[in-house]
Amino acid sequence: MSSDNHPALPLSQQLEISCQICRSQFNLKLNTHIPLDGVCAIYGHSGSGKTSLLRTIAGLEHHSNCEIRFAGETWQDKYTFVPAHKRRIGYVFQEASLLEHLTVKQNLDYAIKRARKLNQFSYQQVTDLMKIEPLLAQLPSTLSGGEKQRIAIARALLSQPQLLLMDEPLASLDLTHKNEILHYLEKLKTEVDIPIIYISHSPDEVARLADHLLVLDKGRLVSDKPINQSFELLNTATRHINEQAVFLQAFVVSRLDKWQQIKVGLKSNQAGSSPAYLWLTDNGLQPGSELRLKILAKDVSISLTKALDSSIQNSLLTEIEKIEPLDDGMQLITLNASGHLIQARISNKAVFDLKLYAGIQVYAQIKAAALI
Amino acid sequence: MLSLSPADYSAIVLTLKLAAVVTFILIILGTPIAYWLATSRSRLTSVVNALVALPLVLPPTVLGFYLLMAMGPTGPIGQLTQALNLNGLAFTFSGLVVGSVFYSLPFVVQPIKNAILAIGQRPLEVAATLGASPLDRFISIILPNAKPGFLSAAVLGFAHTVGEFGVILMIGGNIPDQTRVVSVQIYDHVESLEYTQAHQLSGLMLIFAFVVLLLVYQFNRKQSQVNHVF
Amino acid sequence: MLTSGLLLCSGLKAEQATIAIASNFTQPAEQLRLAFEQHSPHTIRFSFGSSGKFYAQIRHGAPFDAFFSADQQKPVELEKLSLTVAGSRFSYALGKLYLWSAQPGIDLSPKNNDWQFATKIAIANPKLAPYGKAAVESLKQLNRLNNLKDKLVYAENIAQTYQFVLSQNAQIGFVAASQVVQQNKGSSWPVPDDYHPPIKQDAVLLKRGQQNQAAIAFLAFCKSKAAAKIIQSFGYQTLDNH
């Protein structure tokens, strides 16, 4: 797949990659331009070659059939190989990778001493952002996984990189720490101006953080688009992990302070679609703000009539697009709510009893929509 | 209790001096070799690994014999010293140093290499992404983390040089204060039937070797969570 | 046929002897064994090594029936310890000393050469080897010991002395005639026998072998004219007890 999807960017805002990496598990072949703006996620299953790609960008792996140009500057081609320590990158590894023989403070100092001569991020800004002030005197072995990752991110920032590479920084963390770090990553994204390449095999993380999405499958680039054009792909991706869900781009329409609710409108790319609205718990966002929603298929039920006596507030009139059997006695029903696709996970029996088939109109009752 | 002769004392002093000089050179020389062996992916590593390990399996007399031949005026080392306008290395202290460096090399390279391997690639990669050059990585990551390996290497290199015999016998020439080290002195005592003196020096060697190994193993036991040297 | 005939006629039982031989006598010993076994029902097994080690091993009960030392001292010491059969000791060979250089075409005789061209002179350790002792005596005799003392390097035995000179790490060295004769290269000067006390190599029958007919017969054979011829062919001299 070519990079025609974002042709307008000047060279100075692109990371050009043309790569061929042969391994026993995969055969990575890739030719694209990654926009150096916001978060570009590279999504793929393990064995798709995404870590090798990131390490090649960093200069940690040297494959001869690769060319990499960062903002017009050649990092690697047939004749050039800029070693990792001379590329202006920060790298956050999957597992915590603090230098064990140094304290937290010394780990940060290690980066500061060798920092590139740019002062984009001040020590204060970074330690505040990652809230690591209280940990400074400790040795890495005394820290939790989440704390270690926060420090690793801070350390990467303090080396004053021009590009931040993150290789599944959440993968080795438990759920609590995952959410904690996700929160910090979002702060990082909004408060720090640095292009980030983020590797993940979690559709959630990608939907939450990415501005641009590259999808790798068995070493092939199968999608290379801005995130708002990639949700459908992520929706299919969720099916592989048996937690079917859809991701939706939305905006705040109005606030109902009395009930602590906000009204959000779903954005659609489809022409001629009329707006659809949902009520959500107030999260402090002001009208006009954008947000991303995730609706799990198991949180959506179907009713043939509009239920006026239900506690479920969000009910949308939809048309059944297709019904697919899942392998556990359930069926996945794709619903079209005036241009917005939602999925519902319904038992075989319910599909039979309600006589559901593609083309009929039903009400989708949405129990919960998570802000992500 | 001990009734060592002046010749015995001189042999002891010479041996310690030889071991100290050799250990110093071995650490300087062995460290880059060990580093390269531990980090390079070159096919040459197996060749170098095998070369370094040769003294472990070769009888010292073989090594000594070839060194003697090499140091002669027609041998490669001899040609080199002649080209540099130096005297021949055979039968000199410098010659013993050269021979001992070859002979004890694996005892120094092995522990350092293992210690570097135990550190793993990750900290080195981390350092590289933080802007550390290879030399910087060596000083800031490898040296502090491989300290126990270096200590083992130094102790083993020293002890092995003290215990060296076959090579020195071949290239030494048994010259007092220059090449007559303790092991050769013991051999002379045994061969000339001076068993009492042989006993005394041998006993000293035995105690020395035991104490050294005891220290190394105890130290390694304490460090065993950090890395394995053996 | 001959062997079995002898066996039947003499009523002897074929026996086997294990004999310790100083390394420098390896080749003549093999020849002697071949010659001996042609006319004897007995078989001989050799063990080659340094005389000093054999001495230590024999003192501690090593299973040797006879011992061919590279010197006279060790058999004498064993005799004093009553580990030998009284009266069995004899000098099986006299060593001949040569001054030798690996470089051909040099006149090494002291008349024409002061040996100062050599930076190192190899001799066997006089403390350990009779050849070394003889070399020192010869240097004394020529009044050259003090002049050349600082050039001396000591080998542990006469074989190593030869190696030092062969590799030219030492330019000249006092080696055994047997080595010069067998290798036949370089330049040499035979040291006159009267420059040093004779280099006697003694053999002795050990207590363990006093009943061993093979050992007794082999020692007897080594005193024969035939044996003397073999020994001399390797550059040794023999006493007239042959």
B126–A60 C-beta distance less than 8 A: no
Q: Which of chain C's residues have a Cβ under 8 Å away from the Cβ of B72?
A: 167-169
- B229: in domain: no
Instruction: CATH number of the domain at B153, please.
Output: 1.10.3720.10
- Other beta carbons within 10 Å of B146: 29
Residues C116-146 have pLDDT tens digits of 999 999 999 998 889 999 999 999 999 999 9
Q: What percent of chain C has pLDDT over 70?
A: 94
- B69: in domain: yes
- B85: in domain: yes
Nearest CA in chain B to A61: B125
Cβ-Cβ pairs closer than 8 A, B with C, add up to: 73
Judged by a CB distance cut-off of 8 A, whether residue B6 touches chain A is no
Which of A257, A253, A346 is CA-nearest to residue A304?
A: A346
Q: Which of chain C's residues have a Cβ under 8 Å away from the Cβ of B187?
A: 156
**What pLDDT does C203 receive?**
97
Helix (H), strand (E) at residue A333: strand A330-337
Same fold, C2-94+200-233 and C97-190: yes
Nearest CA in chain B to C123: B173
Q: Which fold has domain C97-190?
A: D-Maltodextrin-Binding Protein; domain 2 (3.40.190)
Check whether C194 has a pLDDT greater than 90: yes
- Cα separation, B201 vs B96, in Å, equals 20
Which of C53, C127, C169 lies closest to B71 in CB terms?
A: C169
How do the domains of chain C map onto residue ranges?
2-94+200-233, 97-190
Return the amino acid letter for B148. P
Q: Which of chain C's residues have a Cβ under 8 Å away from the Cβ of B96?
A: none
Least confident range of A38-47, B196-205, C209-218: A38-47
Which of B131, B134, B141 lies closest to A99 in CB terms?
A: B141
Which of B68, B91, B174 lies closest to C120 in CB terms?
A: B91
Subunits close to A (at least 3 CB pairs below 8 A): B
The CATH number assigned to the domain with range A11-240 reads: 3.40.50.300
**Residue span of the structural domain in which B113 resides:** 6-223
Mean pLDDT of C183-188: 87
**What pLDDT does C104 receive?**
92
Extract the tokens encoding C216.
Answer: 């007794």
**What pLDDT does B227 receive?**
43
- B73: in domain: yes
For A139, list phi and psi in degrees, rounded to 5. Answer: -90, 145
Judged by a CB distance cut-off of 8 A, whether residue B171 touches chain A is no
**What pLDDT does C154 receive?**
93
Q: Which fold has domain C2-94+200-233?
A: D-Maltodextrin-Binding Protein; domain 2 (3.40.190)
Per-residue CA distances from A85 to A18, A67, A69, A159, B146 (Å): 21, 18, 16, 11, 22
- Cα separation, C35 vs C227, in Å, equals 8
- Cα separation, B47 vs B52, in Å, equals 9
B190–C56 C-beta distance less than 8 A: yes
User: Cβ(A13)–Cβ(A35) under 8 Å?
Assistant: yes
Q: B179: distance to nearest CA of chain C, Å?
A: 10
Choose the mutation target among C153, C166, C172 for the interface with B, i.e. most B CBs under 10 Å.
C153
- B1: in domain: no
B68–C154 C-beta distance less than 8 A: no
User: Cβ(C176)–Cβ(B207) under 8 Å?
Assistant: no
- B54: in domain: yes
User: Cβ(A29)–Cβ(A218) under 8 Å?
Assistant: no
Mean pLDDT of B146-161: 91
Residues B73-84 have pLDDT tens digits of 888 998 998 888
Question: Per residue of chain A (372 residues), what is the pLDDT tens digit?
Answer: 444 445 567 877 889 999 998 887 778 888 999 989 889 999 988 778 888 999 999 999 998 889 999 998 999 999 999 999 999 899 999 987 899 999 999 999 999 999 977 778 889 988 888 889 999 999 999 998 889 999 999 999 999 999 999 999 988 888 888 888 888 888 888 888 899 999 998 888 888 888 899 998 888 888 888 887 777 777 777 666 667 888 888 888 888 888 888 888 887 656 566 678 888 887 777 888 888 888 888 888 888 888 777 778 888 888 898 888 887 788 888 888 877 888 888 888 888 888 888 888 999 888 877 766
**What pLDDT does A227 receive?**
82
- Cα separation, A183 vs A298, in Å, equals 25
- Cα separation, B134 vs A369, in Å, equals 51
Spatial strand order of the sheet with A340-347 comes to: A300-303, A361-366, A314-325, A330-337, A340-347
The CATH class of A245-371 is: mainly beta
Check whether C242 has a pLDDT greater than 50: no
User: Cβ(A352)–Cβ(A359) under 8 Å?
Assistant: no
Which of B138, B166, B153 is CA-nearest to residue B52?
A: B153
**Residue corresponding to tokens 């005596």:** C137
Which of B123, B128, B141 lies closest to A60 in CB terms?
A: B128
User: Please, which residues have CB within 8 angstroms of residue A238's CB and are 6 or more apart in sequence?
Assistant: A203, A244, A245, A246
- CB burial readout A155-183, b (16+ within 10 A) else e: bbbbbbbbbbbbbbbbeebeeebbebbbe
B129–A84 C-beta distance less than 8 A: yes
Judged by a CB distance cut-off of 8 A, whether residue B123 touches chain A is yes
**Residue corresponding to tokens 């006092």:** C174
Is B in contact with A (3 or more beta carbon pairs below 8 Å)?
Answer: yes
Report the complex ipTM.
0.74
Which of C55, C120, C128 lies closest to B188 in CB terms?
A: C128
- Cα separation, A344 vs A355, in Å, equals 15
First to last CA, chain A: 29
C55–B88 C-beta distance less than 8 A: no
Number of structural domains found in chain B: 1
Check whether C182 has a pLDDT greater than 80: no
Choose the mutation target among A51, A85, A109 for the interface with B, i.e. most B CBs under 10 Å.
A85
Which of A311, A320, A361 is CA-nearest to residue A343?
A: A320
How do the domains of chain A map onto residue ranges?
11-240, 245-371
Mean pLDDT of C98-110: 94
More confident position, B129 or C242 = B129
B126–A97 C-beta distance less than 8 A: yes
Judged by a CB distance cut-off of 8 A, whether residue B133 touches chain A is yes
More confident position, A225 or C211 = C211
Mean pLDDT of C153-157: 91
Check whether B34 has a pLDDT greater than 80: yes
Q: Which of chain C's residues have a Cβ under 8 Å away from the Cβ of B90?
A: 120, 153, 164, 167, 169-170
More confident position, B35 or A311 = B35
Least confident range of A92-106, A229-243, C78-92, C96-110: A229-243
Which of A178, A226, A232 is CA-nearest to residue A202?
A: A178
B88–C119 C-beta distance less than 8 A: yes
Judged by a CB distance cut-off of 8 A, whether residue C79 touches chain B is no
Residues B40-99 have pLDDT tens digits of 888 999 999 999 999 999 888 888 889 988 998 888 998 998 888 888 888 899 999 999
A159–B129 C-beta distance less than 8 A: yes
**Residue corresponding to tokens 């070394």:** C132
Return the amino acid letter for A328. D
User: Cβ(B115)–Cβ(A47) under 8 Å?
Assistant: no
Return the amino acid letter for C52. G
Choose the mutation target among B125, B130, B139 for the interface with A, i.e. most A CBs under 10 Å.
B130
